[in-house]
Structure 1
Amino acid sequence: MKSNLSFGVLVLLFFFAFSSFAQHAGSVPGDSATILAHLQKMDKSHPRLLWKKGEEKEVLQKVENDELLRNVHKAILAECDNLLAVAPVERIQIGRRLLDKSRECLRRVMQLAYAYRTTKEEKYLKRAEKELLAVAAFSDWNPSHFLDVAEMTMAVAIGYDWLYDQLSPASRQALKSAMLTKGIKPSYDSRYNWFLTAEHNWNQVCNAGMIFGALALAEDEPALAAGTISRAIQTIPRAMEAYGPDGGYPEGFGYWGYGTSFNVLFISALEKALGSDFGLTKIKGFSETASFYQSMVGPTGMVHNWGDSGLSEGVSPAMFWFAGREKDPSLLWRQRSILMAKSNGKITGNRILPTLLIWSPEQKLETISAPKSNIWVGQGDSPVAMFRTSWTDPNAIFVGFKAGSASVNHAHMDIGSFVLDVQGERWAMDFGPQEYNSLEERGIKLFGRTQDAERWDIFRYNNLVHNTLTFNGACQQVKGYAKIDQWSEEPMNQSVVSDLSTVYADQVETIKRGIALKEQKYVVVRDEIKTKNKTTHLRWTLLTAASARIVDGSTVELSQNGKKMYLIFESQNPLTLKTWTTVPTHDYDAPNPGTQLIGFESDLPANSTQAFTVYFTSSKNIQKAEPLNEWKGKSKK
């Protein structure tokens, strides 16, 4: 279907819609005229998205040479055989989202189209076509929640492009019409396209979906395609700049997997179809972000899951893209472990899994070595530090520390919090998020970021249940921000120090927290606090799934799965060791079975300076911690 709008009107429409975004573009060379010139030179044959015609041989060669990749290939084919008898997705909306249907469609279409291209078996082609026509017939793709549109557009674009020569003219027409009317054109509606100004995953995902549709239809809709691609290249830096300066992703591990994966799809599609990334990979921090992601996983396989992040690690095709691009196979150390695990049967749940095989570097996964550095530190909107004693020992000590601000998208009031793995167990944990719809269906305004937002009434989201400090029962200050002030990577004295004062600006005069991994044997957490001109009540909390026994006025014994750790508390000010229940306070809160809070309370005199040190040790053989001003390390500007 040709657009009803002329080339000139389309260009004017594009520039009118784009005018408010252009000044942010900086030096990214992706204006509409440049993109149109690239499209005119583009190979007009299909497939051209991510994986061109004839490149199946390269993938099959890698599959033949690498057992782990061969297992992925076989898993995809087995899953596609299972899908043959499954009905296509239906337009069933959950709350305000159709997103689970869009994601499932993308998963099915990409895997089925991959199976057809690598086997040429008609059963996969027909089943993919059935799925594609079903979603093309939906009344709409739910533009009021535009992530739904973006992922559905990408799904249809991949199916249309990868199977183009085998689809009937009628099927191609139906898919093309759906991509135009239900995908790309709604993105020019001001009611829906706020993602263009977003600085988080919405920008990355929605722009990626739109350029997949635009590239798939480029020979038939050159002006619309050029405008859509140019708009995306000019606006996606708003989200990509958040990786600076060191590669950290402000929204945490889980949303890295979402936003970054679609950002990689975006860049890979541009490079494959148009031969350029238009300077996007030069944006500060983006090339370094894979190290951040890998460093967020402890030796238990559990994630440093601050903010709205889940606890589990999964297969990540984007990491294969980074490993190949950066020529650093060690970035796949954790991915190698996942693919080697006997419990990896769920990998086909990853909706872009075939790209793992497309992007996989030539080196065999079995020969990959562990990363060289045991510490990762980064600033940005959500500064974090992770350090460990080993990448290869499952019983290694791992500490993940979180600074930053509660004002960041998907953030919690977890500034100063940390997680801790020792002896193959997680002793200091984080709940992560509550399922969104369970709150939204009760009328909770989940995503507010003001100080009085309902978000902070949710049990899991405020500082009372994180491994941090609470003064006078008050919440952390949303507008506060803490960076990494100094850090040490000395093997026997890995440490980090952060000034949290603005996070508690209305509660204490100053507060600094330092965390150190000493002698590769035990962990120290030290807080130094200066109070205001009134008595201040301090609550120090640790969230754990371990059983806790208060031994005496300064010692707690933690035990789980037959293993023990001790918390030894040290202070000049009187302490009261306590445990607190994690039974939530509202009926809309999720339950938290098998967990508890352990820590202490203390009343701090007015205008006083206090220090509190807590040791995490398995042997009680520790050395007294120095004041923070004696901790040596580098400053991290």
Structure 2
Amino acid sequence: NLVGGPHSKTSVGFNSYALWNNPNSTLGNVIEEGSFQYTFKGDRAAGEQAKKALLKLCSFKKWNADWMLERKFWTYYPVGYTIKPVAYGYDMLYDLLSESERAFVRTAIMEKGLKMFHRDMVEMNRMPSNQTNHIAVLAGGMGLAATAIYGDDPSNPNLEPYISGILTKTKTFIDRTYYEDGSYGEPKSGYMNMASRDMGELLPALERNFGVDYSTTTSFKDFYKYLIQASYSNGLMQDYGDGGGAKGSRVDIGGQIHSWWLVQRTKNPLLYSYVNPFWEAGKGGYLSYVWYRDDITPVSRETLPPSKFFSAQGMVMRSGWDDASMVLSTRVGPNANHYHYDQGSFQIMKNGETLLTDPAYGPLGYYANLEYLSYSVQAIAHNVMLVDHDPESQAPAHYDNGIKALTEWPRVQHLFNGKDADGIESELSSVYKGKLEKYSRTLLYTKTGPVFLFDEVKSKSPKGHVYDWLFHAPPGENNQTAISYDKGRMIIDRPNAKLTMDVVSPEIVASKIYDKSAGIGKSFYESFLTLSSKPNLNQVNFLSVILPESKPSSGAAPVTSKMEAPGWIGAKMVHSNGSDIGFFRTGTENGVAAGFTTDAKRFTASYDKSGALQKIYYEGSSISGNGLSLTVDVGTRGTVALVSTGIDAEIKSWKGCTVKMLVSGKPSSVLVG
């Protein structure tokens, strides 16, 4: 098929593309390794072998599969991988090539690479969202090849319009996909790393040869921010969409080409703390050798606040930076490549274990998984709410790709990330196919105790709906079901951690646990619990209290009770560290709730084992009770903690404000930061 002839055929069998592409990738490996050996070590024999492989690869009739070409896809992402070693070979074996051989390689690059890319990605503007790792792989390989032959073709020394097309597609991809805060327009593990690796090779070449700096002038340099926030020290992280999986995924920040380049280019001390151990272990090959530096003082991520909001993703909440800490991530924001219909979903890890999780694309991947479109990408496969038992309750949100008329996606309404509490409220109704007038999901995390989950739902139809709440878990020990449910209590039991969730409201009339198989005759891949409300509800509030714990646990099982007051719904959980209450406003009454008088929309309070108040979290302008009194002249969100040295308040406001706090005596000092 590569060389044509009577035995050429198009195969569509399982893994046929990888088999077809094997000669391309094998020759590419010989070219790349031999080129570096020749350039760095002066190994002439390796250079000659690489030259033979280079000329052989360039002699092939095509670098793209007939299956693609017959469907008018002139290029496909593996061609980016094929052309990259050709670029290395042309550049580093230049003095071993005759002028006719150089022209032969240039022709192959142009006809089988650059012209095909230009037709697909520039003239036809395929992949118009510009949010896909395929663009990065293609632009990376094509850009290196164009740079290698730039100026050598007497008929077109400036390689126009091809070089401008590559630069434009590259810049647009970066601008549409990378965010300054560390958000990224695809899953954050494999897909982002796949794209960033090729950018990590292309961007140095563009800057070195053309003075075009996309490394420090774009948000590419911020790729790592979500990864360090959401992972344990061993790289375990939970991802969304086609990333991750029931047991999470792992990210190796220090072992990535793009990390090495950005350390060399920007002296980023946070990235250096990951890269330096990798380098000092002698890993990374030629590019690590080229970019190595040891003149940076590393800075640990532990200098950062443990919780952070990401504009195109949601929030990462952590109890701390150690590997026993709880890590909770949320999903809310624009749609993107390889994403699922999972708005409002959230996942939880504790003590190095995934507890509340996401099955990603399933055990067989999206090509062989027969349930990929009917289950894996749909709302039912995520920790969300369904309407009318519809597994496809959510529609896709819009992409954030610069089209001003298409900007409809769920939005974060309020958030707080502090040292003593975290909170996020998201409005999700826009993806529920016109059925809901309102759907607000709130997660409040007390840091030292439980997470309060509160959903406020209102139907557009007076007839109302039935609602299902879903919770997914990985398998437990020995591939047994890890999830159980009885009398309002869900338990997820893993080898090193356990999650307890108590449902406070509404009345659950039906529940069922499903085990999803990993294939015929195989053990299951994940389980999920579905909790159903009464039918025909025009409005409903869902309140639950979630406590992740390390194993072995340090005390008795938690005890949860419902708490009510005029205009409020709340819950109290007593656990091994003390107790926590959470209240959510449901009416206009300003009734006293658990001894607190407040105009807040919601609040929590934490107590030690003796019942003494430790801290409160509130969203409003005033709260008083239990010996505390706080008034602010504008609406704020904040915490007030009683510490050994006095009172520690962390208050966030959209503008400057005046805070009045009543204390039982004149303070010795007041520090404002």
TM-score (norm: length of structure 1): 0.71
Distance 1:491 1:606, change over 3 A: same
* Equivalence for 1:477: 395
Count of paired positions: 516
Match of 1:398 among 327, 330, 336: 327
Shift of 1:103: 5.8
Match of 1:187 among 117, 137, 142: 117
Q: Deviations over 1:234-288 (max 9, x none)?
A: 33332222224634111121221122333333321111112332x67434x4333
* Equivalence for 1:119: 41
Q: Which residue identity lines up with residue 189 of structure 1 in the other structure?
A: R
Distance 1:259 1:562 in 2: 34
Distance 1:425 1:196 in 2: 37
Answer yes or no: is the 8 Å Cα contact 1:302–1:313 preserved in 2: yes
Match of 2:378 among 425, 448, 462: 462
Higher deviation after alignment, 538-547 or 622-631: 622-631
How large is the Cα RMSD of the aligned pairs?
A: 3.6
Shift of 1:581: 2.1
Q: Which residue identity lines up with residue 487 of structure 1 in the other structure?
A: L
* Equivalence for 2:136: 204
Answer yes or no: is the 8 Å Cα contact 2:437–2:459 preserved in 1: yes
* Greater per-residue helix proportion: 1
* Equivalence for 2:592: none
Distance 1:555 1:318, change over 3 A: same
Distance 2:372 2:543 in 1: 30
Distance 2:451 2:24 in 1: 45
Shift of 1:600: 1.9
Q: Which residue identity lines up with residue 501 of structure 1 in the other structure?
A: S
**Structure 2, unpaired ranges of 5+:** 1-9, 398-407, 550-556, 559-574, 586-600, 603-617, 620-636, 638-651, 655-673
Q: Which residue identity lines up with residue 301 of structure 1 in the other structure?
A: G
* Equivalence for 2:562: none
* SS of residue paired to 1:181: helix
Match of 1:275 among 211, 216, 226: 211
Answer yes or no: is the 8 Å Cα contact 1:404–1:415 preserved in 2: yes
* Equivalence for 2:242: 308
* SS of residue paired to 1:529: strand
Answer yes or no: is the 8 Å Cα contact 2:181–2:225 preserved in 1: no
**Structure 1, unpaired ranges of 5+:** 1-90, 445-453
Higher deviation after alignment, 354-363 or 560-569: 354-363
Determine whether 1:291 maps to 2:225.
yes
Answer yes or no: is the 8 Å Cα contact 1:141–1:182 preserved in 2: yes
Shift of 1:141: 0.8
Higher relative contact order (CA 8 A, sep 6+): 1
Distance 1:340 1:581 in 2: 45
Match of 1:626 among 576, 583, 591: 583
Shift of 1:157: 0.4
* Greater per-residue strand proportion: 2
* Equivalence for 1:55: none
Q: Deviations over 1:3-55 (max 9, x none)?
A: xxxxxxxxxxxxxxxxxxxxxxxxxxxxxxxxxxxxxxxxxxxxxxxxxxxxx
Q: Deviations over 1:363-383 (max 9, x none)?
A: 479x55235221232224xx2
Determine whether 1:597 maps to 2:528.
yes
The structure with more radius of gyration: 2
Taking every aligned residue pair, what percent have the same amino acid on both sides?
Answer: 19
Shift of 1:555: 1.5
Distance 1:123 1:223, change over 3 A: closer
Distance 1:537 1:361 in 2: 60
Shift of 1:120: 2.7
Q: Deviations over 1:572-605 (max 9, x none)?
A: 4335443112138xx9x99772421124222255
Determine whether 1:358 maps to 2:281.
no
Distance 1:364 1:413, change over 3 A: same
* Equivalence for 1:501: 429
Distance 1:209 1:133, change over 3 A: same
Matches within 5 A, 1:29-40: none
* Equivalence for 1:178: 108
TM-score (norm: length of structure 2): 0.68
Distance 1:599 1:609, change over 3 A: closer
Distance 2:280 2:238 in 1: 22
Answer yes or no: is the 8 Å Cα contact 1:513–1:527 preserved in 2: yes
Higher deviation after alignment, 240-249 or 356-365: 356-365
* SS of residue paired to 1:492: coil
Matches within 5 A, 1:226-625: 226-242=160-176, 243-244=178-179, 246-253=181-188, 254-277=190-213, 281-283=216-218, 285-299=219-233, 301-310=235-244, 311-314=249-252, 315-334=255-274, 354-363=286-295, 369-373=300-304, 374-380=306-312, 383-391=313-321, 393-405=322-334, 407-433=335-361, 439=367, 456-457=373-374, 459-474=375-390, 475=392, 476-479=394-397, 481-532=409-460, 533-545=462-474, 546=476, 547-548=481-482, 550=484, 552-561=486-495, 563-574=497-508, 576-583=510-517, 593-603=524-534, 605-618=536-549, 620=558, 621=575, 622-625=579-582
Shift of 1:213: 1.5
* Equivalence for 1:35: none
Q: Which residue identity lines up with residue 146 of structure 2 in the other structure?
A: A
